[in-house]
Amino acid sequence: MNKNLLLLGVGGAGTTMVRGVTRAFSSPMHAHAVDTDAASGSEGGIPFTLLGGNRLAGRGSGGQPAEARAAFEDDPGVLDPVFDGLRTCVVLAALGGGTGGGATGGILKRLHSKGVSTLLFATLPFSFEGADRERAAKSEAATLAREADVSVFLPLDDLVAGVDNMTEALRQAHDMVSSGVTLLWRLLEKPGYIRMDPERLHAAIAGAGRARFAAAAAAGENRVGDVLAALAANPLLSRSNGAAPVRTIVAGVLAGDDLRLSEVAAVASGLSAAFGPDAKLEIGTVNDEQTFSGRLAVSVLLFEESPAAASKPAALAAARNPLAAHDRFGKTDKTIWEGEDLDIPTYLRRNLTLEK
Amino acid sequence: MSKPDPVAALEIGTSRTVLAIGEPLAPGRVKVLAVEEIPSRGVRKSQIVDIAQAGLSIASVLQRAEDKTRYTIHQTNLAATGPHVRSKLYTTQWQLNGPEVTDEDIAGVYNLSIDAGVDSAERAILDASEMGYGLDDLDGIPQPKGMTGRILRLNTLFVHGSAQRMEDARKAAQYKAKLEIADVFFSSSRAAAAVLTPEARRDGALVIDLGGGTTGYTVWADGHLVHADVLGVGGDHVTNDVSLAFGITRSQAEQAKKEAQAVVGDNGGTPRIELPSTTPGFGPVSISRRALDTVVNARLHETFAIIRTELDRADLLHRIHSGVVLVGGGSAQPGIARLAGNVFGLAARIGELVPGVEGLEDVENPAAYAAAAGVLLASQPDPESDSLVKRFFGGFFGK
């Protein structure tokens, strides 16, 4: 179990999804859950921290993000013992109200202040849950995208289709997120032909902004082709809503002992062709006969090349005052070399990506 | 036997004001008795923008140096630099008075050379390097006396700067310290003189003087200074970049710089750097070490790459056989020699003071004081010195 890497569930849905991952992973893993509702922790199975016990008495935030935010701010260091020694934290939450929408921002900020890279998976509500909830989720997503190193937003509409019963639809959606994250965790923690250790994920996260995530599995003769076709058709990976080109593809190939290297090569070339011929590809494999006998699963994280994320501090500095550099050198002649104003920071002129 | 009078060297840099007091031991040898520095005020890109502020810094540092040595200093030489400094090669011709070259002919061609060097009242000569004589169709003559011919030529590299900027420095030194400036030298060529052995000058060396506001560089080949220039970018720009990149105060940025590696990926420290609060209202911050290295590397790499491009255009790179030598306060940046080696494709090292400079053996990063040491050395130059200025000008403000 890698103690540098933590899976953290925030809120009721986040806790449910983390619990789903720990069950499916079937080996000890470093996971934790937080909620304002004490009932979330009552099932056991994973370490749990109650937020805002004095304020809310463990009864939850009542769907009010402001209450959840205040609950965390009452004691922002409450999770510090859990965060000590971390390099990377994967956070699962559901947006649209309550603890997931209210407390996640403060938690991400706290992680950032401790130098921990963060990868956020957050679900967005079903459209039938109403416009208010959708608006709230969008607003929360915009905030969280600034706080997390990488954020993956998963619209529940894209995860589940054709299920009328809301409880069942939510269960299926959370199961799908859990399955995908479990694949990611297996990739990071289980041995394979090509090791995808958490440091490679950490490096991919650094300087990224938004990402897309999906997974697919298949069995049989044409399992590689079937998986690639399923991924190509998955709306979670489609480039829509102004998504930027893909900068890095992090992919995991998980299979039993029958995994062939030619299959890994076929997955690699298929993913590159489908999602970004110019993107950097980081691929890892897991051989787990017990879980994947005869099957092949592929989990994919597509890190977007977003100008907004290209350099958060740089972008912030530039946004604050692009000519700020001249304040310091204002009383002197500009240093111009071949048309370039050298008084402006080099990293800004070169548009360099800076790790947060 | 009485002790020789002490000599002093003043450097009014963008980041720090340095004053050194030394005791001449012999031509080309000096014992440094004190070298003191304090943070500069009123200086940007090596140019004084506030005479009073700069003057107060000079008075403070002078006081410290005097307290340490128990000497009272009334006069100093100045190490000057700035983006206004340029170098230019002049060739002057002199018709011999007779069939052979005489001392009078040599003096004549020198005087012509100096007239050519000072082609404007707004420019002041900071250094001059005689690069050899020519006689009729023969070039590369080190000593022409007694040779037969008609036309004597002298190739001279003049380093000159803005006379107004020198005057500002003189006023600042006068302002509170009542310090007279006897002579002005180009700080980067003096720094090079303090770290290059005669062999290195002969084999060819590039000396980069990494200052707070500017980066001066000199190229030496065949024993002479053959090129000098100043880029208006220095450590102050690195600090500014770091401050803007992370939204931190300048003092926090200065602190962060010390932790940065000039080559990205060389840093083995913790992934985050914690910077305590240095200014009320600005709290402590945590920044990514790798991001810091990226910002610092971008600036330093660019600075070296510009110098490399300029030297390539001047067809000088191939003359540098003994490598790159780094001096100045910026030479303390971790990993900077490695970065310079990478950019120039040459051996690179931090400068070490020549044996003629004594008394700085216990100083941390003596390369930071190379300019001051070089100016002290120039106060009693080696007869083999390449400088024309001392022989013919008798001091910038004295002429």
From chain A, pick out residues whose CB is under 8 angstroms from the CB of B51: none
Q: Lay out the sheet containing A88-94: strands in order across.
A: A48-50, A31-35, A5-10, A88-94, A117-124, A150-155
Residues A44 and A119 in one domain: yes
Contact A345 B291 (CB under 8 A): no
Residues A34 and A161 in one domain: yes
From chain B, pick out residues whose CB is under 8 angstroms from the CB of A335: 45, 83, 231-233
Residues A169 and A251 in one domain: no
**What pLDDT was estimated at residue A116?**
80
Q: Which of A140, A158, A189 is the last residue of a domain?
A: A189
CA of B290: which chain A residue's CA is closest?
Answer: A355
Residues A297 and A325 in one domain: no
In the predicted structure, residue A26 carries a pLDDT above the cut 50: yes
In the predicted structure, residue B257 carries a pLDDT above the cut 90: yes
In the predicted structure, residue B384 carries a pLDDT above the cut 60: no
DSSP H helices, A152-260, are 156-159, 166-189, 198-205, 223-233
Contact A115 B245 (CB under 8 A): no
C-alpha to C-alpha distance for A181 and A271, rounded to whole angstroms: 19
Dump the DSSP string for B77-109.
EEEE--TT-EEEEEEEEEE-SSSB--HHHHHHH
Residues A107 and A135 in one domain: yes
Residues A157 and A253 in one domain: no
> A296-312: per-residue pLDDT in tens?
888 888 887 654 443 44
C-alpha to C-alpha distance for B219 and B207, rounded to whole angstroms: 6
From chain A, pick out residues whose CB is under 8 angstroms from the CB of B244: 317, 324-325, 345, 348
C-alpha to C-alpha distance for A46 and A1, rounded to whole angstroms: 14
Contact B271 A206 (CB under 8 A): no
Contact A355 B291 (CB under 8 A): yes
Global pTM reads 0.58
> A162-201: per-residue pLDDT in tens?
666 777 777 777 877 887 788 777 777 766 656 666 666 7
Residues of chain A whose beta carbon is less than 8 angstroms from a beta carbon of chain B are: 87, 113-115, 206, 313-314, 316-317, 320, 324-325, 328-329, 331-333, 335, 337, 342-343, 345-348, 350, 352-356
Q: Report yes or no on A338 lying in a domain.
A: yes
Classified as helix, coil or strand, A56 is helix
B274 Cα to chain A: minimum distance (Å): 9
Q: Report yes or no on A201 lying in a domain.
A: no
C-alpha to C-alpha distance for B60 and B39, rounded to whole angstroms: 10
Tokens of B251: 């003092």
Taking each continuous run of H as one helix and of E as one strand, the counts in chain B are 11, 19
Reported as a pLDDT band with limits 50, 70 and 90, residue B167 is very high
Residues A300 and A332 in one domain: no
From chain B, pick out residues whose CB is under 8 angstroms from the CB of A343: 237
The structure tokens 């809301």 sit at A166
Q: Report yes or no on A15 lying in a domain.
A: yes
Tokens of A65: 């993000």
A223 Cα to chain B: minimum distance (Å): 40
Bridge partners of residue B125, in order along the sequence: B160
CA of B272: which chain A residue's CA is closest?
Answer: A115
> A84-116: per-residue pLDDT in tens?
878 889 999 999 878 999 999 999 988 887 778
CA of B237: which chain A residue's CA is closest?
Answer: A343
Q: Which of A120-134, A159-173, B105-119, B302-316 has the lowest mean pLDDT?
A: A159-173
Residues A287 and A341 in one domain: no
**What pLDDT was estimated at residue A197?**
65
B232 Cα to chain A: minimum distance (Å): 6
Q: Which of A157, A189, A221 is the last residue of a domain?
A: A189
Pick from B247, B272, B302: CB nearest A346: B302
Higher pLDDT: A301 or B148? It is B148
CA-angle at A231, arms to A227 and A236, nearest 5°: 155
Compute the average pLDDT of residues B191-216. 95
From chain A, pick out residues whose CB is under 8 angstroms from the CB of B49: 331-332
**What pLDDT was estimated at residue B393?**
42
Sequence-separated (6 or more) residues with CB below 8 Å from residue B236: A328, B14, B15, B44, B45, B212, B213
Domains plus CATH for chain B? 86-160 (3.30.1490.110), 197-351 (3.30.420.40)
Domain with A228 in it: 210-307
Residues A64 and A164 in one domain: yes
Total residue count of chain B as it appears in this document: 399
C-alpha to C-alpha distance for A305 and A208, rounded to whole angstroms: 7
**Averaged pLDDT of chain A:** 80
Tokens of A112: 């950032």
Pick from B47, B232, B241: CB nearest A345: B241
Residues A11 and A110 in one domain: yes
Reported as a pLDDT band with limits 50, 70 and 90, residue A323 is very low
The structure tokens 């950490």 sit at A202
Q: Report yes or no on A205 lying in a domain.
A: no
How many domains are contained in chain A? Answer: 3
User: DSSP secondary-structure letter at A221?
Assistant: T
**What pLDDT was estimated at residue A322?**
39
In the predicted structure, residue B265 carries a pLDDT above the cut 80: no
A165 Cα to chain B: minimum distance (Å): 47
From chain B, pick out residues whose CB is under 8 angstroms from the CB of A353: 294
Tokens of A325: 């550099």
Taking each helix axis from N to C terminus, what angle separates A166-189 and A11-25, rounded to the nearest 10 degrees?
50
CATH number of the structural domain spanning residue A233: 3.30.1330.20
- Which is it for the CA torsion A321, B258, A201, A139, positive or negative? negative
**What pLDDT was estimated at residue B263?**
84
Residues A83 and A157 in one domain: yes
Of A115, A51, A46, the C-alpha closest to A83 is A115
In the predicted structure, residue A324 carries a pLDDT above the cut 70: no
- Which is it for the CA torsion B316, A332, B376, B395, positive or negative? positive
Residues A140 and A163 in one domain: yes
